[in-house]
Chains A and B, each alone.
Chain A
Amino acid sequence: MSSAVVPPDAVAAPALPDVLPPPRRRGRVGTFAYRHPTILAGGALLAVMLLIAVFAPVLHTVDPTALAPARRLRAPSGEYWFGTDMLGRDIYSRVMYGARVSLLVGFAVALLSSAIGMLIGLVSGYVRWTDAVIMRVMDGLMAIPGILLAIALMALTRGSVQNVIIAITVPQVPQVSRLVRGLVLSLREQPYVEAAVAAGTPGWKIILRHILPNTLAPLMVQATYICGSAMIIEAILSFIGAGTPPIIPSWGNIMAEGRALWQVKPYIVFFPAAFLSVTVLAVNLLGDGLRDALDPRAARRL
């Protein structure tokens, strides 16, 4: 009874202390990094790898192809940071220069297969009578495992970075064109496309203005995954001797050369493998982050 009665001399409760921290103000870059930490982490790692590839000659390296039989199979030390291989070549220098091949192959394959795949996908999705023919050809290509197709293509040509890029691009094209075709098929039914048709917009303009820009976001995500897997396939091809010629150091062929001795001198395989893993991880993190950032459903939530 008494607890419910307010005493006459009651005073107002003191104002509540401001328990909530004041809103933190972040800059635009800060907000972006906060929302998409994976893009930031992946992008930063990839940037480091890019810098290594670009500045390989000035990163305290020696000629990566210089032989020194007297100093072969040295363990990592102050002089040889990553040790030397069985021909006495400096593994540190080779790994730094090897970044060039891996990144070049990754980016070139991602760009080429996206561009070709997009073109094929747009035609196949928009010009309906071509669809059956193009897609059966793509099905045929997809029926062969990508790595086997790449090995077969490499067997037909000379080993060079350019041929490696082509051999890895070919098996990737069908996947991109399938993705783009699917997007085009759903986009062409969108009311805004029908409205554009009704507004007299010619077919090629509809593709360029209304369909293509809306396929770019998913395509960009796909391209990052292609970039990652292209680097791995390049390493596999080089590892089995069907890839980059041995004169050009690549992470794959450094590992291939260390293969015979990996139980006694594991560092020869370890260093290039670690760099390859970190780079592929960076690319995939970037891809995951982009997918989250560009997903229209996620975007609608914001």
Chain B
Amino acid sequence: MPPEAAAAALQASGVPLLNVVGLKKHFALHGGLLGLSTGKVHAVDGVSFTLRRGETLSVVGESGCGKSTVGKTILRLLDPTEGEIWLDGARIDTLPARQLRPLRRRVQVVFQDPFSSLNPRMRVRDILAEPVVNFGLAKSGSELDDRIAALMDKVHLPRDALRRYPHEFSGGQRQRIGIARALAPGADLIICDEAVSALDVSVKAQIVNLLAELQDELGLALLFISHDLAIVEHLTHRVGVMYLGKIVELTDRRTLFSRAHHPYTKALLSAVPVPDPLAKRDRIILRGDVPSPINPPSGCRFHTRCPFVFDRCRVEEPLLRPVGEAHLSACHLDASVAVQTERLLPHHA
């Protein structure tokens, strides 16, 4: 069966494009004279989700919660400690380094910093040619030129910009170049690691619109890693909320923004600024800092800061469980308790 037909068959059978099962990534800490292992950072500690073709899944959370590590592990820039990653029904987390090329072609990345994500000593043309040449996607020089020109058109940059160096562009334009590079090999999945966080608000909107446009046109799946719920609300289909290396709530956008279940999600939502000075809001202010991922709290990792903490939270770790249709949450609070807490919640339309 040719690969396209196989992919189509998998698509029809409902196999998701990306399936992450129990992903863990721990970083060993070394210290002392002999460099012995003194502990480990539980950056990602059991994360599972699926992503379909043409779908956007946002992973949100505070800095240090492990969301970028999830992205890098899927890209195989980092090797997972435990768990499985499946791309189109094929397991990719165990692939040896030499067999990563087919994966590299299908999964691409756009980074946060538009300044350090482009090599300052390469012209735009060479930056875009690199993946095309690596995967042998152009048989001749003119075909390469055509492909590169088409990429520039896709991200709405003028073709004569190809001869320029990255420092001659603004942040938004550089991010477009980064997106064009990610599109170059014809990827199915693009991981946007805080891809718009470093941009001005107006430029942010342009890039978000560009991503949405490209998704419609090319059927891309996007894994959108962000700390900004306001942006996420504009482009995502589903949202996973991460706290200290775990997904605490996973649901579609509408449910998350109207009927969030997990107290942490509610706190995040109440922190989103509302552009109305007269709006009456009951904010949930979390006290304290995120605990260290070197020594995460027992039971529910959020219990040290949760306004609704009770005894069970300190000893028993809550598992992701369905709390509604296509709505998973890892919290011991049941529906009735959730109702009781309703008065503390922001009235999010």
Contacts and interface: CB of A to CB of B under 8 A. Distances in A.
Interface stretch (B118-126, B208-216, B260-268): B118-126
B184 A199 contact: yes
B225 to A, nearest CB: 13
Contact of A197 (B77, B105, B118): B77
A198 B74 CA distance: 11
A71 interface: no
Given A191-B117, A194-B111, A200 B185 contact: yes
B124 to A, nearest CB: 13
A209 B123 CA distance: 12
A200 B75 contact: no
Interface stretch (B79-87, B129-137, B319-327): B129-137
A194 B122 contact: no
A72 interface: no
Given A190-B116, A191-B113, A192-B116, A198 B135 contact: no
Interface string B93-126: 0000000110011011101110011111110000
Given A191-B111, A191-B116, A194-B109, A199 B121 contact: no
A195 B181 contact: yes
Nearest to A201: B134
A192 B117 contact: yes
Interface in B10-40: none
A199 B117 contact: no
B119 A199 contact: no
Nearest to B122: A209
B109 A195 contact: yes
Contacts, number: 56
Contacts of B119: 192, 196, 209-210, 214
A7 interface: no
Contact of B121 (A198, A200, A213): A213
A210 B118 CA distance: 10
A199 B131 CA distance: 5
A198 B77 contact: yes
Interface in A33-57: none
B108 A199 contact: yes
Interface residues of B, number: 28
B293 interface: no
B66 interface: no
A191 B178 CA distance: 11
B273 to A, nearest CB: 28
Contacts of B118: 192
B75 A198 contact: yes
Contacts of A209: 119, 122, 130
Given A213-B121, A214-B120, A214-B121, A196 B130 contact: yes
Given A200-B185, A201-B130, A201-B134, A195 B121 contact: no
A135 to B, nearest CB: 13
Q: Interface centre among B108, B130, B181, by most A CB within 10 Å?
A: B130
Contacts of A214: 119-121
Contact of B104 (A190, A199, A210): A199
Interface residues of A, number: 16
Nearest to A216: B121
A192 B124 CA distance: 13
A202 B134 CA distance: 8
Nearest to A190: B116
B117 A200 contact: no
A196 B134 CA distance: 10
Nearest to A296: B120
A190 B116 CA distance: 6
A195 B77 CA distance: 9
A198 B108 contact: yes
A191 B135 CA distance: 20
Interface string A238-265: 0000000000000000000000000000
Given A192-B119, A213-B121, A214-B120, A200 B111 contact: no
Contacts of A198: 75, 77, 104, 107-109
A200 B105 contact: yes
Interface in A97-112: none
A21 B112 CA distance: 45
A190 B121 CA distance: 13
Interface in A195-252: 195-202, 209-210, 213-214
Contacts of A210: 119
Nearest to A213: B121
Contacts of B111: 191, 194-195
Nearest to B120: A214
A199 B178 contact: no
B207 to A, nearest CB: 16
Interface in B28-80: 72, 75, 77
Nearest to B107: A198
A194 B77 contact: yes
Contacts of B178: 195
A163 to B, nearest CB: 38
A209 B126 CA distance: 10
A244 to B, nearest CB: 40
A81 B290 CA distance: 78
A214 B116 CA distance: 12
Given A190-B116, A194-B109, A199 B130 contact: yes
A252 B311 CA distance: 83
Top-3 shortest CB links A-B? A199-B131, A200-B104, A191-B117
6 contacts: A192-B119, A194-B72, A199-B134, A199-B185, A200-B100, A213-B121
Given A190-B116, A199-B185, 6 more contacts: A195-B109, A198-B107, A199-B184, A200-B100, A200-B101, A201-B130
Interface of B: 72, 75, 77, 100-101, 104-105, 107-109, 111-113, 116-122, 130-131, 134-135, 178, 181, 184-185
